[in-house]
Amino acid sequence: MNKNGFGKKLVTAPYTLWMVIFVVVPIALVIYYAFTDADGGFTFENMTYIFEYGKTFLVSIELALISTAICLVMAYPVAYGISRFEARRQQTMIMLVMLPMWMNFLIRTYAWMTILEGNGLINRALRYFGSDGFGMINTEGAVVLGMVYNFLPYMILPIYTVLTKIDVSTIEAAKDLGAGRRNVFRRVLLPMSVPGIISGITMVFVPAVSTFVISKLLGGGKTFLIGDIIENYFLGNTGMINYNIGASLSLVLMVLILISMTVMNHFDKDAGEGEGVLVG
Amino acid sequence: MKLLSKVYNFLVFGFLYAPIAVMIVYSFNSEKSRTNFGSFSFRWYQELFNDDIILKSLYVSLLVAVLSALAATLIGTLAAVGIDSMKAPLKRAYLMVNNIPVVNPDIVTAVSMMILFVFVITRINGLNMGFGTLLIAHITFNIPYVILSVLPKLRGMNSNIYDAALDLGCPPLKSFMKVVVPEILPGIITGFIMAFTLSLDDFVISYFNSGSTAQTLPVTIYSMTKRPYSPKINALSTLLFISVMLLLVVVNIRQSAGVKKDKKTIKKEVR
């Protein structure tokens, strides 16, 4: 398709223009705002807020990591179980995994408010059995629960996809060669599912570390994540609004995600080359 | 072992569906309580359909989803054709920029566009955040997904067919419409549906870029969660859940592969 070269350039023009104005320029503006003060003068002052919110960054990363780990441990057996069913059954199960994903995550988070509340269903059930119940909402645990609940399907799906691509005869071969159940898992299944695990981890970690809704609804304003702080600097109370500080924190978040993704891709490549993974 | 895995699966699926079940049950509660169940009633459904703010935001959501999906499909499909025929270094540069909105956390994409809009608005009189900025923001995060679902179809296509049509005297535009478009149509349709659902589902980017005049349904739901408890949200969620379920069942019966799964594979490939 290389005749008509002029036409080719023309069809890309609206896209090029659009992406430059609404993707490249905004990112450039974030960088510009991050390094200037309200009058437009160059400054490093906004960057010092990283240290002021150092603890918030750490809490965000910590909660996101915990949620990702829980998701991984919960999802792997489910994904494996589904991949062992016959094709028709698999389809139904995967549909069941995807169905909650199609609901807006605000609604999914809101549903947990009802359950965890001081007067919520769990506490009422506990009281019925004579316990005093306990404050579940507005804790870090509730935020982690909300993250796990919202992002669990994002972990199940990629792992399931990778597992279905593994040739059953590979596992049979391992068994024939004398590998026990544990060895089959550790030396065959696990290395071969690395690509799925990697994409599952990124798909859970990125939205978890940057959320502000889950922490607002289930953390009750007690657990501040970096997303909450950024939101505050852009849409908070009038006195609080400061695009320059907000932009510098966004920039740091962006770089943080970029670094973690590069690290993850590195793992993916290592596994691909070292273990001879068959999955493309 | 078999039984153990069955019990485990049951528990996980229970975890996924319990909150939804609770919401559905309480949407039929005659009382305004999260815990006491009075009697079965359609009270909250009636109030829902009398709530002008919710109905208006539903309209805004649907309108912005249709318009942004159409615009993104048009711009994206044309661009994909151009990108497909580019030489390697330029192509790589294009795909890198294309991936920025896919890879970035929503809040960063949202904030960066908000800064641009505010930057322009404060310098030109008479402009404001509203439906226009909302639509631009949605088109922007939709386009990359259209590109990513059309490109593989172009790559898998035999380009000689197009050249053959030209050699046989068919004009370029007609050859394109009659030869290329039918070949890549599945990719275009997937891209459109993906853009539509992404737009309908989006909260973060709309929240930062809609101003107060053009709120989408998720933005309205968010502001409802901040006010005292209203079971109207339960009624709304139940209706959404039932429509999504029906849609999924229909799609699943008609064809085995779901669109959402495609979206996930694309995200995976990109990362």
Q: Are B106 and B224 in contact (CB under 8 A)?
A: no
Decide if B16 touches A, using CB distance below 8 A: yes
Residue B47, in any domain of the structure: no
Residue B102 has a pLDDT of 92
Give the number of other Cβ atoms within 10 Å of residue A84's Cβ.
Answer: 12
As for how many domains chain B has, the answer is 2
Both B34 and B146 in one domain: the answer is: no
Interface test with B, best of A104, A115, A156 (most B CBs within 10 A): A104
CB distance A11–B114 less than 8 Å?
A: no
Residue A30, in any domain of the structure: no
What's the rounded Cα separation, in Å, for the pair A27 and B169? 46
Please report how many Cα atoms fall inside a 13 Å half-sphere around the Cα of residue A103, on the Cβ side. Answer: 31
A52, burial (CB in 10 Å: exposed 0-12, middle 13-18, buried 19+) = exposed
Residue B150 has a pLDDT of 95
What's the rounded Cα separation, in Å, for the pair A240 and A246? 10
Residue A35 has a pLDDT of 96
Where are the alpha helices (H) located in B123-158, listed in sequence order? Answer: 131-155
Determine if the pTM surpasses 0.90: no
Residue A97 has a pLDDT of 92
Those residues whose C-beta lies under 8 Å from the C-beta of residue B140, and which sit 6 or more positions away, are A18, A22, A23, B101, B109, B113
**N- to C-terminal Cα distance for chain B?**
35
How distant is the Cα of A133 from the closest Cα of chain B, in angstroms? 15
| Host domain of residue B10 | 1-41
How distant is the Cα of B20 from the closest Cα of chain A, in angstroms? 7
As for how many domains chain A has, the answer is 1
Q: Are B252 and B244 in contact (CB under 8 A)?
A: no
When mean pLDDT is compared across B53-67, B102-116, B225-239, the lowest value belongs to B225-239
Residue A1 has a pLDDT of 44
Those residues whose C-beta lies under 8 Å from the C-beta of residue A183, and which sit 6 or more positions away, are A174
Residue A14 has a pLDDT of 95
Residue A191, in any domain of the structure: yes
Both B82 and B143 in one domain: the answer is: yes
Tell me the pLDDT tens digit for each residue of A127-152: 778 777 677 888 999 999 999 999 99
Residue B163 has a pLDDT of 87
Residue B256 has a pLDDT of 54
DSSP 8-state symbol, A40: S
CB distance A29–B119 less than 8 Å?
A: yes
Closest residue in B to A235 (Cα) is: B208
Both B32 and B94 in one domain: the answer is: no
Residues 189-248 of B with CB under 8 A from A: 197, 201, 203-204, 207-208, 217-218, 221-222, 225, 233, 236-237, 240-241, 244-245, 248
What's the rounded Cα separation, in Å, for the pair A262 and A254? 12
Residue A126 has a pLDDT of 80
Residue A113 has a pLDDT of 87
CB distance A14–B22 less than 8 Å?
A: no
How distant is the Cα of B163 from the closest Cα of chain A, in angstroms? 6
Q: Are B180 and B162 in contact (CB under 8 A)?
A: yes
What's the rounded Cα separation, in Å, for the pair B200 and B105? 18
Residue A270 has a pLDDT of 61
Residue B157, in any domain of the structure: yes
DSSP 8-state symbol, B172: H
Residue B238 has a pLDDT of 93
Contacts of A1 in chain B (CB under 8 A): 84-85, 159, 162-163
Residue B26, in any domain of the structure: yes
How distant is the Cα of A177 from the closest Cα of chain B, in angstroms? 23
The alpha carbon of residue B119 and the mean position of all alpha carbons in its chain are separated, in whole angstroms, by 27
Q: List the CATH number of the domain containing A199.
A: 1.10.3720.10
Interface test with A, best of B115, B166, B251 (most A CBs within 10 A): B115
Is the pLDDT confidence value at A64 over 80? yes
Tell me the pLDDT tens digit for each residue of A68-84: 999 999 999 999 999 98
| Token pair belonging to B195 | 């853009």
Residue B191 has a pLDDT of 94
Tell me the pLDDT tens digit for each residue of B160-206: 888 899 899 988 888 888 989 999 999 999 999 999 999 999 999 99
Give the number of other Cβ atoms within 10 Å of residue A55's Cβ.
Answer: 10
Higher pLDDT, B140 or A38: B140
Measure CB to CB from residue B264 to each of A82, A95, A158 and give the nearest one. A158
**N- to C-terminal Cα distance for chain A?**
28
ipTM of the complex: 0.88
Residue B264 has a pLDDT of 56
Tell me the pLDDT tens digit for each residue of A221-277: 788 999 999 999 999 888 889 999 999 999 999 999 999 888 888 887 665 443 333
Q: How open is the CA angle B26-B30-B31, to the nearest 5 degrees?
A: 85
Tell me the one-letter amino acid at B217: L
Residues 106-165 of B with CB under 8 A from A: 106-108, 111-116, 118-119, 136-137, 139-140, 143, 147, 159, 162-163
Residue A4, in any domain of the structure: no
Closest residue in A to B166 (Cα) is: A3
The alpha carbon of residue B239 and the mean position of all alpha carbons in its chain are separated, in whole angstroms, by 18
- Average pLDDT on B123-139 reads 93
B206 — phi, psi (to 5°)? -65, -40
Contacts of B82 in chain A (CB under 8 A): 8-9, 11-12, 15
| Token pair belonging to A255 | 């770089």
| Host domain of residue A78 | 43-274
Give the number of other Cβ atoms within 10 Å of residue B57's Cβ.
Answer: 22
- Average pLDDT on B230-248 reads 89
CB distance B105–A25 less than 8 Å?
A: no
Residue A273 has a pLDDT of 43
Residue A29, in any domain of the structure: no
pLDDT band of B5, cuts 50, 70, 90:
confident
**Average pLDDT over all residues of chain A:** 87
What's the rounded Cα separation, in Å, for the pair B207 and A235? 9
What's the rounded Cα separation, in Å, for the pair B113 and B133? 9
CB distance A149–B15 less than 8 Å?
A: yes
Contacts of A153 in chain B (CB under 8 A): 16
Both B191 and B90 in one domain: the answer is: yes
Beta strands (DSSP E) in A141-260 are none
Both B113 and B246 in one domain: the answer is: yes
Residue A262 has a pLDDT of 87
Q: Are B153 and B83 in contact (CB under 8 A)?
A: no
Residue A178, in any domain of the structure: yes
Tell me the pLDDT tens digit for each residue of A234-244: 998 888 899 99
Decide if B256 touches A, using CB distance below 8 A: yes
DSSP 8-state symbol, B170: -
pLDDT band of B265, cuts 50, 70, 90:
low
- Average pLDDT on A183-196 reads 90
Give the 3-state secondary structure of residue B16: helix
Q: Are A79 and A195 in contact (CB under 8 A)?
A: no
Contacts of B35 in chain A (CB under 8 A): 119-121, 124
Closest residue in B to A227 (Cα) is: B107
CB distance B84–A1 less than 8 Å?
A: yes
What's the rounded Cα separation, in Å, for the pair B104 and B141? 11
| Token pair belonging to B194 | 């993906």
What's the rounded Cα separation, in Å, for the pair B199 and B204? 11
A216, burial (CB in 10 Å: exposed 0-12, middle 13-18, buried 19+) = buried
Residue A264, in any domain of the structure: yes
pLDDT band of B208, cuts 50, 70, 90:
very high
Both B106 and B160 in one domain: the answer is: yes
Is the pLDDT confidence value at B47 over 90? yes
- Work out the percent of chain B whose per-residue pLDDT is above 90: 63
CB distance B19–A111 less than 8 Å?
A: yes
Higher pLDDT, B120 or A5: B120
Both B18 and B80 in one domain: the answer is: no
